[in-house]
Amino acid sequence: MARAVAKREDLPVEYTWDLASIFPSESDWDAEVEKTAQMLQKLDGYRGRLAESGTILLEALETIEQIWTRLGHVFAYASMLRDQDTTNQAAAAKDDRAMGLYSQVSAATAFVEPEILAIGASTLQNWMNETSGLEIYGHYFDHLEQQRAHIRSPEVEQILGMALNPFGTARQIHGTLADADLTFAPAVSSSGDRIDLSQGNIDALITDSDREVRRTAFEHYADAHLALQNTMGMCLATGVKQDVFSARVRGYQSSLEAALHPYHLPVEAFHNLVDAYKRHLPTWHRYWRLRREMLGYDTFHVYDIKAPMTVDPPQVPYQEAVRWIVDGMAPLGREYAETMQRGATNQRWVDIYPNEGKRAGAYSGGWQGTHPFILMSYTDDIFSMSTLAHELGHSMHSYYTWRNQPPVYARYSTFVAEVASNFNQALVRDHLLKSRSDRNFQIALIEEAMANFHRYFFIMPALARFELELHERSERDEPLTAEVMNAVMADLFAEGYGSEVEMDRDRIGITWAEFPTHLYMNFYVFQYATGISAAHALVHSVLSGGEEAADRYLQFLKAGDSLYPLDALRLAGVDMTRPEPVEQAFAYLGEMVDRLGELVREEQSAGVS
């Protein structure tokens, strides 16, 4: 049964992340906010002067990097302090203050890119040859040149920078509603026991062996979101309209183009993924049918999708999960494995267990100059182990990027972000499938794999299609209401579930509201599917190519934003402009369905179940 949800103050410190490694106290954070704001005054001395010389330009860029690094630490600390307990109003106030400072910095630095573009590519090249230290900005200058048509005047860029804080309000409101204000009726077991339901334990409850627990958890979770659907719908409509506004201001043909063009990604990358997803829906229909038959149900519901198919699902305590993950990542070498192990244990990168008010979901955060941080709600099962592997993949990507790139390239695009995370999951899964022959464990592990594919190769493409539909409606100035959103979402899932899954249109239709972050990130969700495709291709490469392939992958992790996303993936050994990686991932999905059926038939033949 699910772990009781603790109060934040009752958690042992070793189970929490070490925010004091960024700022020893909240007063130190306050002081850093003031210092960062004061540094903005120094920027005024560079306004209108960047074309004077390479030396002046280099000084300005280095000053800006110092400011952004300071801001990154301020922002990371405040957002994580809030996320660990969203009912903490003092933490929420700090997060709001950090957002305000972020907007100030964006506005104060808005003059830089238009002035750099005015210098001209030939002059910039000469300055890079003459001014030591400026040459590292070559890729950044090329990136700006590619964006020339979409970078506005200094005055417009300043206004857009100032708008970042108010533009973030819709997302913040939706997230606050989801994490702090939703009221969930408890789940109920088949014996009548009531179980507290929260954002922190919903995943554990919908994988419970008791079908009544799963049903009531699914329904009560959806019902809580339905109760606030109009407010959440208005928030999401506002977010979509802001995307459309920004795309129009910058002269893009669509919000989709605006989201992809800065990363040198063609809009075809989105449409090709969606088309492949639609072609392979019969594989999902086959999986739903197989699960229904294996579970012995006459009807199959959404809350049965993660029903355990073994009588004794493996328990995986946190420390054991860390050991498995470290062992699974051994092909990447000792340094990678030992760094990851230290981070997940004594260095306290991870905020491990659920607590009241904790932000939903899981993520990896931090900034260059800090170590990575992971927020999750670990529930001692194989699904949590997989989530931990996923987030550690993100964290190790950040770890290597931060230590090998200058600040200008210390981040990486969303298109490559989901590669490292899914790579970890796939490599650890491969290790466990090969090293643990117990049939029960194998079934549970394939269930985990299918749950992961369900999220990234089923839910996320459906949400991507939903996102495109909403943006296109907004671009046509059509109304966006919760009723419209629910209908669009339900229709998309009806196509995905086919005739194999019983539809509860209202509760399935509200799925969009259960993603209070992803759908505000402007066409991010489809990149989970491209990421998992690239990841599986690279796992195959590393396992078959030995140290050379592993080294190429590590070079990819170290590249950060110093290469365009498609080039970074080519460095690792996969070409995402071709259809093969996505098709290979769907082929692997089909193999998992086949293998699961074989294992269950073997179990039934052996009289185990």
pLDDT in tens, 585-608: 999 999 999 998 888 777 666 654
Q: What is the torsional sign of CA 220, 222, 228, 230?
A: negative
Supply the DSSP symbol for 136. G
Cβ within 8 Å of residue 107, ≥6 positions away: 158, 159, 161, 162
Hey, what domains does the chain have and what are their CATH numbers? Answer: 8-167 (1.20.140.70), 256-609 (1.10.1370.20)
pLDDT beyond 50 at 157: yes
- Residue type at position 135: E
| Burial of 119: CB neighbours in 10 Å, binned 0-12, 13-18, 19+ | middle
Rounded Cα–Cα distance for residues 411 and 101 (Å)? 20
pLDDT beyond 80 at 112: yes
pLDDT beyond 50 at 240: yes
Q: How confident is the model at residue 361, as a pLDDT? A: 85
> HSE-up of 176 (CA within 13 Å, CB side)?
18
Rounded Cα–Cα distance for residues 108 and 38 (Å)? 12
Task: Give 280-321 pLDDT, tens digit per residue.
Answer: 999 999 999 999 998 999 999 999 999 988 778 899 999 999
Q: How confident is the model at residue 4, as a pLDDT? A: 62
- Residue type at position 358: K
SS3 readout for 84-105: CCCCCHHHHHHHHHHHHHHHHH
Task: Give 369-414 pLDDT, tens digit per residue.
Answer: 999 999 999 989 899 999 999 999 999 999 999 999 999 999 998 8
β strands within 134-192, DSSP E: 187-188
pLDDT beyond 70 at 2: no
**Higher pLDDT pick, 185 / 201:** 185
- Residue type at position 94: K
* pLDDT band with cut points at 50, 70 and 90 for residue 245: very high
Percentage of the chain exceeding pLDDT 70: 98
Tokens of 145: 């040149």
Percentage of the chain exceeding pLDDT 90: 79
- The CA–CA distances, whole Å, from 431 to 320, 348, 379, 436, 533 equal 14, 25, 22, 8, 19
Residue 345's SS3 state is: coil
Q: How confident is the model at residue 168, as a pLDDT? A: 84
Residue 337's SS3 state is: helix
What is the number of residues in the chain? 609
- Taking Cα atoms as reference points, which of 508, 443, 489 lies closest to residue 290? 443
Q: How confident is the model at residue 609, as a pLDDT? A: 44
Tokens of 305: 């999708």
Helices (H), 8-152: 26-43, 54-83, 89-108, 112-119, 121-130, 138-146
Q: How confident is the model at residue 603, as a pLDDT? A: 67
Tell me if 461 sits within 8 A of 277, measured CB to CB.
yes
Angle between helices 414-435 and 526-559 (to 10 degrees): 90
Strand 194-195 to 187-188 pairing: antiparallel
**Higher pLDDT pick, 437 / 82:** 82
Supply the DSSP symbol for 526. H
Rounded Cα–Cα distance for residues 80 and 152 (Å)? 33
Q: What is the mean pLDDT of residues 525-543?
A: 93
Task: Give 12-56 pLDDT, tens digit per residue.
Answer: 999 999 999 999 999 999 999 999 999 998 998 999 999 999 999
pLDDT beyond 50 at 526: yes
Rounded Cα–Cα distance for residues 297 and 500 (Å)? 11
Q: Tokens 């280095």 label which residue?
A: 62
Q: What is the mean pLDDT of residues 529-540?
A: 94
- Taking Cα atoms as reference points, which of 467, 441, 477 lies closest to residue 529? 467
Long-range contacts of 331-340 (CB under 8 A, 24+ apart): 331/427, 331/542, 331/543, 331/550, 332/427, 332/542, 332/550, 332/553, 332/554, 333/547, 333/550, 333/554, 336/396, 336/554, 339/396, 339/399, 340/392, 340/395, 340/396
- Residue type at position 390: H
| Burial of 543: CB neighbours in 10 Å, binned 0-12, 13-18, 19+ | middle
Backbone angles phi, psi at 437, to 5 degrees: -90, -10
Tell me if 261 sits within 8 A of 150, measured CB to CB.
yes
Q: What is the mean pLDDT of residues 75-103?
A: 94
- 356 tagged catalytic: no
- Residue type at position 322: V
Tell me if 381 sits within 8 A of 315, measured CB to CB.
yes
Tell me if 353 sits within 8 A of 11, measured CB to CB.
yes
Of 157, 356, 391, 603, the active-site residue reads 391
The pTM for the full model equals: 0.85
Task: Give 167-177 pLDDT, tens digit per residue.
Answer: 889 888 998 89
Angle between helices 281-295 and 580-605 (to 10 degrees): 10
Tell me if 438 sits within 8 A of 445, measured CB to CB.
no
Q: How confident is the model at residue 475, as a pLDDT? A: 97
